[in-house]
Structures are given as structure tokens and as C-alpha cells.
């Protein structure tokens, strides 16, 4: 799994393999219909150039889509659309006020609660079972809860680092690491390093109520992400000082045995850095805002290789199997495919592609890394390029949607994608503007929607937002669905056949959930009686769920096969429940 630092932390955690979160069903290691644009569709093929279509850019101008002027930065918004914790059959929601955790059986619709510690907040799923780890904010401990559907067991892990607000769990569920993400700490002082983390060995006493083994370690200044190697032998904390490497096995227990620098200049600003770590733990890849190089750091030797591209790199992503990375340069429409399966790549190993006529500033990789979906939200663009990385040489096609692209969430099987669009004309090709502001508008802001309508110059009422269901093979035109309130959260079923999208407008008291189907592209809307705060999929039960704000607790479950919806109310979930719909 790739660990991402800076604006898009843990992107693969949410989009790649999570337990009932955005794409997954069972714990995580550790992220429309289409047609070609008019006059185009022919697949481009590898090398240094290719034709992805003959469509006109939004302003009819340069590759950056704004007549040669510098476009605003890309907004990496995919991690904004997140969901709460499910472990396949059960949905887990913590109430920091009461000190209890509710667990909902998505098959029988039975709701039970269990005592945790003082102020349970952060919850993480443990792969392979209906098990979660809960951080208790005020008692500085953690509670491990596990059920087989009949019996619930609870274990307490004391001595968790004070203030811990993040949890990372290894792929096979043996280890969890609790740590403090300083970016989530209000009024943090410049001298607060948040360098202490707690490693929890979940395998210790797993079959009993015994206390799990735990170890406190110190890593570099202000950790920004924590991840694990696939074999669970090591963990990696990306910090302002580089990558702290934690050895998890051995008689001596967990130990920080190295810190690897990510730059030749130790004073370089870490805030401009975007870091990905390959699943095998061999390499760290580094992108800097405004830099035209991708750094490949060998985490074993510390050797740094600089790979130069044709301009500032606007996005960098690593496949979940760690075999390749994809970097894009918006100014020149370049895509660089970097092999990572062997020794550290040299510049000669990189495949450079130019997607002629397209504006590409971001990439979203499908699970398995066979396909990269390319787009930009820094300019007003209604086009998406689908790059098949598994072909040799890579091939691509350009697909059209019917509104500017804000974000793209591929399905797990790589056959389709959910494309999110901004509020009405804030980013339309007729407005002449960009969609940068639309992507950051408050989800409950009526003012933002009113401003969007003013930009359109149209008498029609502005839309709150829209999404498209997009088959990535280009066999069917995109199905676009306008929404009556701003989109708040997105979940895609592990089977890749359903997506759940919640909308919320507190000012207008409009709350709802849309269910979209692949491959039929049918869409149904479900009204909600209260504001949604999170959405997800309980895979084993084949139900989607929407947790809502309600003084006594409320959750709506939707059967993904029949569409039958049931709402459960009255189990004290909603009051001051942690809002997992935000990072």
C-alpha cells in the first residue's frame, strides 16, 4: 500500500482496500457511461506521443486550459469522500459522550452497544474478522472489540500515546499503530513534535480477554502518515525528518532502526512534499509542488534517484501492488510510468507518454494498477483519459462527461468510475472560470450555490452538484445525475456494482442518498429524515448504510440487491458522534 504524505494522506487506505469504506470489504492494509469526444476515440499508443482525441479545450487554448496563464493547483479531493467503519457484517460507531460503541448487525438489523473507554473516537477495522480497534481520547487507552455474531469480546490496551487521533492497521491484522496527526490538533505549538507513537501487537492474547502487548517508540518530527510492509515485518512513519523505519519482528519487539532522508537538503520544506511508499517497503517516492523531478528513495540503502520530467509534477501515485508509479505533468500533458518491481529505476527505465490535446493534472489508479484514470480539476474540463497500463506499450482513450470534473473514484474492478462534478456553472466550460473554488465550498452552504448560479448567466436555478456513472471501456455514454443538495460522501461496493452517494444541505433541510448501479447505470434517490454524516457498505450483508445526526442515533440501511431501505433510530449514536465523512 502506498502511504501518502501532505495533501492526500493515506489515499490508498480509503480508495484501495478498506473494510466497508470506499471500496473494500474486510479491513485494510496499512485508497456514468461514456463516449469518445466528437471526432475522436482512437486509442493512442505508447512511446513519446499519441493521440487521445481531437476535442477542444475549455478555452480553446493551451494545454493548461487557460490561454497560457498559470492554472491553479490541482485539488486532490478524493480523500474528502470517505466513510465510517464496517467489518463486512457489522457497522461500528463510537459515541465519545457516552463512552459506548454501537455495533449494528447489517444482516439482522440488530443494534447493540458496548462500553469502551473514556471518550471513544477514532475507530479502525482489523482485517480478517469482525474486529475493530477504538482509541479512547480521554483515558489514553484503546479498546479491541471482536464479535462472531453471537459473543462479543473486549480487550483494553493501556498506555496509548496521549492525544492519539490516528490508527493504522497492518494488512494481515497483526499490528496497529496509534499516533498523533498534528494537523488535526487545534492550536498546536511549533515545538509540539508529536513524535511518540504506540505499536500494538494485536496477536498477543487475541483469543482471550488478555491485554495486548504494546510498545511506545519515538520517530521523526510530526508524522504525516504511517503504513506497513505487506509482510508485516516493518512499519514506516513519514515525518518532516524523513521516513522512520520500525522493525516489528524480532526478540526485542518493535524498534526504530533507521531514519532515511527524503531530500539531499535536510532543510527542505516538508510541507510541499507528497510521499508514497511501496507495499513491499523498498522505495519511497517523492513529489514536490512546483518541481519537475520525482525522487525515488531506496529505503534500504538511503540512495536517492532523481527522475526529471518535462515540467512541474502535479500528481504522483503508486499502484497498490507496488510494481509501478504514475506521475503526471499538467503543463505538457505528460504521463510518466515508473517501474518499481526490481532495482531502483533509472531515467532510461521510465516510459514517457504525451496525451496530446488533453489537460491532465491528476491520476486515480484502479485496484491492481491496470488502469490509470487521468483528469484535471484545476481547469474547466469535461474530459477523462483512461490509460491502460497493463498494455505494452500503454494505450489510452479519451471519454467525455457532461460537466466539469471535480474528482474520480474508480470501481474496484476497474470497469467503471464515479465522477463528481461541482455546483452548476461554477466550473462549466461556458463560464470561462476554473472549478477550484467549487471544490472547496462548504457542503451546507447555500451561498456557494447562489454564487455558482450567478456565474452561469442563466435564468435556470443553479444545481447543488452532480455525479456521473462512467463505464471506463467507452461502450456507453456517461449517465449524469444532478443532485438537489451538495454531495457529501461516496462509497462503492466491493463487488463494483453499486455506489452510494449522500447529499446534505442544512440550510435548505435537504438530505438524501443516491444509489447508482453498474453496469445498468440506473439511479435511485432515497430521502433521509436527518443529516447524513457517513456512508459505507457492509459487504457480507450486501447492504449500504448511511449514519445520520440524531439525538438518539439513526442509521439507514439499503439492501443493494432489492433496494429495500430500513431506518433504525433510538440507540444513542448521533449526539456528538465523530464525523467520519471528513479526513
**Residue 451 scores a pLDDT above 80:** no
The confidence score (pLDDT) of residue 244 equals 97
**DSSP letter assigned to residue 4:** -
In sign, the C-alpha dihedral spanning 550, 552, 556, 557 is: positive
Q: Which among 190, 247, 246, 248 has a CA at the least distance from the CA of 221?
A: 190
Give the whole-angstrom CA distance, residue 559 versus residue 542: 6
pTM of the predicted protein model:
0.79
Provide the CA 417 distance to its chain's centre, in angstroms.
14
273-299 pLDDT tens trace: 999 999 999 999 999 999 999 999 999
Residues 6+ apart with CB under 8 A from 161: 140, 178, 179, 180, 196, 197, 198, 216
Say which residue, 206 or 7, is predicted with more confidence: 206
Q: What number is the average pLDDT over the span 447-453?
A: 30
DSSP 531-578: -EEEEEEETTTTEEEEEE--TT-EEEEEETTT--EEEEE-SS--TT--
Residues 6+ away with beta carbon under 8 Å from 332? 63, 310, 311, 354
| Strand, coil or helix: 46 | coil
Q: Is the pLDDT of residue 25 over 60?
A: no
516-545 burial, b at 16+ Cβ within 10 Å, e below that, comes to bbbeebebeebebebbbbbbbbbbbbbbbb
Q: What is the largest CA-CA distance in the chain?
A: 72
Where is pLDDT greater, at 93 or 485? Answer: 485
Would you say 256 and 263 are in contact if contact means Cβ atoms under 8 Å apart? Answer: no
Q: What is the pLDDT of residues 99-112, one digit of tens each?
A: 889 899 999 998 88
The whole-angstrom separation of Cα 361 and Cα 516 is 27
Beta pairing partners, 104: 91, 111
Which one is the CATH code of 6-569: 1.10.10, 2.140.10, 1.10.3470, 2.60.40?
2.140.10
What is the distance between the alpha carbons of residues 378 and 487, in angstroms, rounded to a whole number?
19
pLDDT one-digit tens code per residue, 172-212: 999 999 999 999 999 999 999 999 999 999 985 544 444 56
Lowest-confidence region among 73-77, 119-123, 425-429: 425-429
- pLDDT-based confidence at residue 572 (cuts at 50, 70, 90): low
Cα dihedral 270→162→9→421 (10° resolution): -120
d(CA 488, CA 248): 38
pLDDT given at position 269: 85
Domain borders along the chain are 6-569
Whole-angstrom Cα distance, residue 375 to residue 422?
14
Between 58 and 369, name the one with better pLDDT: 369
Give the per-residue pLDDT at 69. Answer: 54
Does residue 273 sit in helix, strand or coil? strand
Answer whether the bond into residue 217 is a cis peptide, omega within 30°: no
CB 118 within 8 A of CB 136: yes
Q: Hey, is 347 helix, strand or coil?
A: helix
- Flag whether pLDDT at 256 surpasses 70: yes
Q: Which three cell numbers stand for residue 375?
A: 483528469
For 81-117, b where at least 16 C-beta lie within 10 A, e where not — what string? bbbbbbbbbbbbbbbbebbbbbbbbbbeeebebbebb
Instruction: Indicate the pLDDT class of residue 3, thresholds 50, 70 and 90.
Output: very low
Report the pLDDT value the prediction gives residue 462, as an integer from 0 to 100: 57
- End-to-end CA distance of the chain: give it in Å, rounded: 18
User: Which segment of 72-76, 447-451, 484-488 scores lowest on mean pLDDT?
Assistant: 447-451
List, for residues 415-439, the tens digit of each pLDDT value.
Answer: 999 999 998 643 333 333 333 333 3
Average the pLDDT over 317-335 and give the result. Answer: 94
470/478 Cα distance (integer angstroms): 5
Amino acid at each position: 500500500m502506498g502511504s501518502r504524505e501532505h495533501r492526500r494522506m493515506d489515499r490508498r487506505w480509503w480508495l484501495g482496500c478498506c473494510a466497508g469504506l470506499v471500496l473494500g470489504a474486510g479491513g485494510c492494509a496499512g485508497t456514468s457511461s461514456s463516449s469518445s469526444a466528437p471526432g475522436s476515440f482512437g486509442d493512442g499508443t505508447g512511446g513519446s506521443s499519441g493521440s487521445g482525441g481531437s476535442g477542444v479545450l475549455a478555452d480553446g487554448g493551451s494545454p493548461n486550459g487557460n490561454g497560457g496563464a498559470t492554472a491553479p493547483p490541482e485539488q486532490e479531493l478524493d480523500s474528502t469522500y470517505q466513510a465510517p467503519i464496517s467489518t463486512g457484517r457489522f457497522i461500528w460507531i463510537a459515541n465519545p459522550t457516552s463512552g459506548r460503541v454501537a455495533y449494528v448487525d447489517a444482516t439482522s438489523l440488530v443494534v447493540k452497544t458496548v462500553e469502551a473507554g473514556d471518550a471513544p473516537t477514532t475507530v479502525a477495522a482489523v482485517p480478517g474478522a469482525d474486529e475493530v480497534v477504538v482509541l479512547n481520547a480521554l483515558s489514553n487507552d484503546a479498546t479491541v472489540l471482536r464479535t462472531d455474531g453471537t459473543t462479543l469480546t473486549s480487550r483494553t490496551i493501556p498506555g496509548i500515546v496521549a492525544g492519539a487521533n490516528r490508527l493504522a492497521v497492518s494488512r494481515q491484522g497483526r499490528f496497529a499503530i496509534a499516533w498523533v496527526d498534528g494537523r488535526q490538533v487545534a492550536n498546536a505549538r511549533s515545538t509540539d513534535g508529536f513524535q511518540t507513537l504506540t505499536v500494538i501487537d494485536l496477536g498477543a492474547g487475541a483469543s482471550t480477554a488478555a491485554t495486548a502487548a504494546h510498545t511506545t517508540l519515538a520517530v521523526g518530527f510530526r508524522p504525516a502518515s504511517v503504513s506497513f510492509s505487506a509482510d508485516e515485518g516493518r512499519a514506516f512513519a513519514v515525518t518532516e525528518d524523513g521516513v522512520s523505519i520500525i522493525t516489528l519482528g524480532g526478540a526485542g519487539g518493535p524498534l526504530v532502526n533507521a531514519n532515511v532522508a527524503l531530500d539531499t537538503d535536510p532543510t527542505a520544506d516538508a510541507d510541499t512534499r507528497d510521499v508514497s511508499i511501496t507495499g513491499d517497503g523498498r522505495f519511497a517516492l517523492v513529489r514536490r509542488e512546483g518541481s519537475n523531478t520525482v525522487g525515488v528513495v531506496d529505503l534500504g540503502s538511503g540512495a536517492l534517484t532523481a527522475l526529471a520530467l518535462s515540467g512541474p509534477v502535479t500528481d504522483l501515485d503508486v499502484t497498490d501492488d507496488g510494481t509501478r508509479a504514475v506521475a503526471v505533468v499538467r503543463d505538457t500533458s505528460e504521463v510518466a510510468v515508473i517501474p518499481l518491481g526490481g532495482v531502483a529505476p533509472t531515467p532510461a527505465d521510465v516510459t514517457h507518454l504525451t496525451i496530446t490535446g488533453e489537460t491532465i493534472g491528476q491520476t486515480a489508479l484502479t485496484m491492481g494498477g491496470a488502469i490509470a484514470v487521468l483528469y484535471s480539476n484545476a481547469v474547466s474540463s469535461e474530459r477523462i483519459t483512461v490509460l491502460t497500463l497493463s498494455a505494452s506499450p500503454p494505450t489510452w482513450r479519451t471519454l467525455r462527461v457532461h460537466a466539469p470534473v471535480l474528482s474520480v473514484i474508480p470501481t474496484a474492478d476497474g470497469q467503471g468510475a464515479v465522477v463528481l462534478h461541482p455546483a452548476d456553472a461554477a466550473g462549466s466550460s461556458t463560464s470561462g472560470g476554473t472549478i477550484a473554488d467549487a471544490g472547496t465550498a462548504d457542503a451546507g452552504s447555500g451561498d456557494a450555490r447562489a454564487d455558482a448560479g450567478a456565474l452561469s448567466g442563466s435564468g435556470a436555478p443553479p444545481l447543488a452538484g452532480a455525479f456521473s456513472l462512467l463505464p471506463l471501456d467507452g461502450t456507453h455514454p456517461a449517465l449524469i445525475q444532478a443532485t438537489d443538495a451538495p454531495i457529501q460522501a461516496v462509497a462503492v461496493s466491493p463487488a463494483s456494482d453499486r455506489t452510494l452517494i449522500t447529499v446534505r444541505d442544512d440550510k435548505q433541510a435537504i438530505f438524501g442518498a443516491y444509489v447508482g448501479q453498474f453496469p445498468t447505470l440506473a439511479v435511485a434517490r432515497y430521502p433521509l429524515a436527518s443529516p447524513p454524516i457517513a456512508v459505507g457498505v457492509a459487504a457480507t450483508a450486501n447492504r449500504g448504510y448511511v449514519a445520520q445526526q440524531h439525538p438518539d442515533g439513526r442509521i439507514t440501511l439499503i439492501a443493494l440487491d432489492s433496494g429495500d431501505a430500513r431506518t433504525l433510530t433510538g440507540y444513542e449514536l448521533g449526539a456528538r458522534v465523530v464525523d467520519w465523512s471528513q479526513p
